[in-house]
Each structure stands twice: as C-alpha cells, then as structure tokens.
Copies of this chain bind each other. A is one copy, B any other.
Amino acid sequence: MANEKIPYKVYLEENEMPKAWYNVRADMKKKPAPLLNPGTHEPMKAEELAPVFCDELIQQELDNDTPYFDIPEEIKEFYKMYRPSPLVRAYCLEKKLGTPAKIYYKFEGNNTSGSHKLNSAIAQAYYAKKQGLKGLTTETGAGQWGTALSMACAYLGLDLKVFMVKVSYEQKPFRREVMRTYGADVTPSPSETTNIGRKILAEHPGTNGSLGCAISEAVEVATTTPGYRYVLGSVLNQVLLHQSVIGLETKTAFDKIGVKPDMIIGCAGGGSNLGGLISPFMGEKLRGENDYQIIAVEPASCPSLTRGVYAYDFCDTGMVCPLAKMYTLGSDFIPAPNHAGGLRYHGMSPIISELYDQGLIEARSAAQTEVFEAAEYFARCEGILPAPESSHAIKVALDEAKKCKETGEEKTIVFGLTGTGYFDLYAYQKFNDGVMDDYIPTDEELAKYVSKLPKID
C-alpha cells in the first residue's frame, strides 16, 4: 500500500543533490525573445549589460543553448546548509479532503529567507564575489528576496543596499530587521537617495512605491557606485536557471519513490519559483518524452498571464532596464494597495511567457480571500503556515484534488510550497478579522496601462 511505502517527507542524500542547473531554454525550439536595448531596440549585447549585471550572470542570461551549467563547489556547499528541501506527501490533506488524489508539495520555506529565493541569491552573490565586486544593490517587495540576498551577502562578505517597496517597508518592519541583522542597508522606495526616486516622488507624492520603481532606484545606485552591480530575484533567465534546483530535486525525489506526477502547480509573480519547479518536467515535455499538466496561478489583482498582453515592455518604472518580451500589464501597473504578499510584478518571466504562449502552461488567477481560505485550511491540516504567494498554488491544488474526488481520478498532484507566512501576519490578521479586500482591476483600468507599452516592430 502506498501509504506504507512512501514516507511523509522524501529527502535526498547529499550525493543525490543536483550538480548542475538545467537551462530549459536549451530544449525550447522557439526561444524566449531577447532583451532589447531600450534606445536602439536591438538585442542587448553582453557588454551593454555589464555596467548593470555581473559578468558570469550575463553569460547565463544570454545563453539559450547550453543545457546544463555546473553548480560551483562553493554554492553546492551553501546549498547543503538548507537543502535538499523536502518533497512532502500531504497525507493529512488528502485524508481531510477525502480525495483519491495523491498530493505532494515541494517545501522551500525551511530557511530564514522563508522562501526559494535563497537558491538564486547565493548564486548571484557568489558570481559577484568571484568578480571581485564590493557590493550589490537590489529591490524587494514582500521582502523574501531582500532577506535571501542579505543572507547570501553576509555569508560571502559583500555589502548590500536594498530598496524595499515603501508599503512593504511600513507593513513589515520585521522583514527590515531581519535584513539589518544580516548587515544589509535597507531604504524605503521611492526614496530621496536617487535621481529616479526624487523624480517619482515629485510626480507621485505619497506613492506607496512599486517593484518597478524600486528596481529603477537599485539599478541607478549599482551603475553609479564603483564596485557595485545590480541583482534581481525573479523574471530573468538566470534566476530561472538557478531555481531549476527546485525542479531537479523534485524530479529526483519522485524518481526515487517511483512516482510520476500528473499535474504541477506553482504560483507565479515574476515566475522564478514556477520556472524552477517545472524545469526538468518541461524539458521532458519539450523533448516529447513525457507529458505533464502545468498550471501557473497568479493573483486576480495582478493578472499578467490571464489578462495581460504578450509584448515588449519596460522591466522597471524608470525605464532604465532593457526591454523584455513578456506577458505584461504595463510597466506603470501597480496592484491595489490592499494586495497582500508578493506576486505583484507587472510582467512575467520571458521564459514562462513564451512557454505559456506556446500552450505548454495553463494559467489561472485566484482572489485574495479564497487564497487565504486555502492557506488556513492547509495550515490547520499540514501544520505549516504558508506564504500568501504559495497559497495561490495551494488554492488550485485543493480545487484539483476536489475535482478528483468527484471524478474518482487518482491523479498525482505536486505543487510548489515556496515559503512560509511568518512575516505576512499583517495580511492574515486582515483575513482573520474578515476585512480582506478582493479588489480586481477592471478591463478599463488594465487597458489604460497597456496602451502605454513601447512600440516595437
């Protein structure tokens, strides 16, 4: 009987951990569209990216062909401190739902960043250190990425300046304190410390800030401070490459217990977790070896895949970054202030966007209250208080498991539990108090932002 054979948690041995990251672009016949120079609209060259990004990361960013990148020894050692993450069989959830579905989740929350973000943070910090840099700049929204990067920089002895979206900075003072404890310098964005920050503040006094705005500030500081570069926690190809460690571990764990998942579900904001989780499975799908149903779940308040357009757009509010072709809501789009947690980026990873456009990924959106209902249900059963982001995946996993109950299908479902909600109790409080807001942007609102997309032939 399966219940007796498959443990609650499947851990890999250290020697079973991935030795190389997998680059799903290598198996894509139609590649993601290249980043464009915002002035010339020509594909960005490595040397044009060099003032902003670390050299080896640029190589990873631009390489659409190399299927595997060896994970450097130092990063493998760091991974061993908090990885492998467990692949968990949700026996309690299955029982409570009374579903014949087999539910698994890959839990990335058992590290102090509280999420999968550390997988790429340590990689990006490592290459910065290797390049002899002094420090890094970045933005953070909900705070997971900033925390992860603070941890990585503390470990490697790099300076770090974090621009934290103002609304998060104020709602989450404790996120800021974690970053400070790891030695990072944290500034609420927009700030008076940058040209672009001052410009945005002048145009939008009292703004709550946005990821796009914080990115612009971080890039400005990186490009004007000697020995600094900018790093980003999602969206980029390099980030999805590093995050493939999630999917590779998941695949190895499934192979170890002789299980093939039917359905893979992940939340999607910038796409780093989803892209990482699905990577080796998508590889098999692209190579025609196996088929999987893959579902991206995004917040109804920031619906880039389900209601955005697939077009070139600015990655940041200040329009200083390269243009990326992605599903986007327009670079001026900011989710309503009531939106909790992350997944608030106006665009989507070019890789995920292209795979979605090719029909290889489905997308669904979920409203806040139903997401938190799923979170509470999960927490009370499986014990883990999930991050709001991860709870989008939980919501759809529960929906699918309930469908199996109706149809009697014994589907194997795996979802990405990207993190914990320990720093999101402000949002849980709203939910507990019954005052959570499910505001969803109207078509007219969305059309307004999309109308401002740059014109590219």
Contacts and interface: CB of A to CB of B under 8 A. Distances in A.
Nearest to A12: B11
Given A14-B8, A376-B181, A381 B428 contact: no
B432 A181 contact: yes
Contacts of A127: none
Nearest to A422: B422
A303 to B, nearest CB: 26
A173 B426 CA distance: 9
B428 A177 contact: yes
A110 interface: yes
Contacts of A420: 112
A154 B77 CA distance: 38
Given A425-B178, A432-B181, A112 B81 contact: no
Contact of A112 (B118, B182, B376, B384): B384
A353 to B, nearest CB: 32
A81 B382 CA distance: 7
A432 B181 CA distance: 7
Interface residues of A, number: 46
A155 interface: yes
Given A181-B385, A383-B155, A110 B110 contact: yes
Contacts of A77: 91
A432 B176 CA distance: 11
Interface in A398-445: 420, 422-423, 425-426, 428-429, 431-432
Nearest to A152: B383
A41 interface: no
Contacts of A151: 380, 383
B81 A178 contact: no
Nearest to A147: B385
A320 interface: no
Nearest to A148: B383
A178 B14 contact: no
B14 A379 contact: no
A80 B174 contact: no
Contacts of A14: 7-8
Interface string A66-106: 00000000000100111000001001100000000000000
A377 to B, nearest CB: 10
Most interface-central of A379, A381, A383, A385 (chain B CB within 10 A):
A383
Interface string A160-188: 00000000000001100110111100000
A11 B8 contact: no
B381 A155 contact: yes
Contacts of A114: 422
A293 interface: no
A111 B178 contact: no
Nearest to A114: B422
A81 to B, nearest CB: 5
A457 interface: no
Contacts of A181: 376, 379, 385, 428, 431-432
A293 B379 CA distance: 40
A11 B91 CA distance: 20
A255 interface: no
Contact of A422 (B173, B423, B432): B423
A260 interface: no
6 contacts: A8-B80, A8-B81, A110-B110, A154-B379, A155-B380, A178-B422
Given A7-B14, A155-B383, A180-B432, 14 more contacts: A8-B81, A11-B11, A110-B110, A112-B379, A112-B383, A154-B379, A173-B425, A174-B429, A177-B425, A178-B422, A180-B429, A181-B428, A182-B379, A183-B380
Pairs A-B, 10 closest by C-beta atoms: A174-B425, A154-B380, A8-B80, A177-B425, A422-B422, A112-B385, A7-B14, A177-B429, A180-B432, A110-B110
Interface of A: 7-9, 11, 13-14, 77, 80-82, 88, 91-92, 110-112, 114, 118, 151, 154-155, 173-174, 177-178, 180-183, 376, 379-385, 420, 422-423, 425-426, 428-429, 431-432
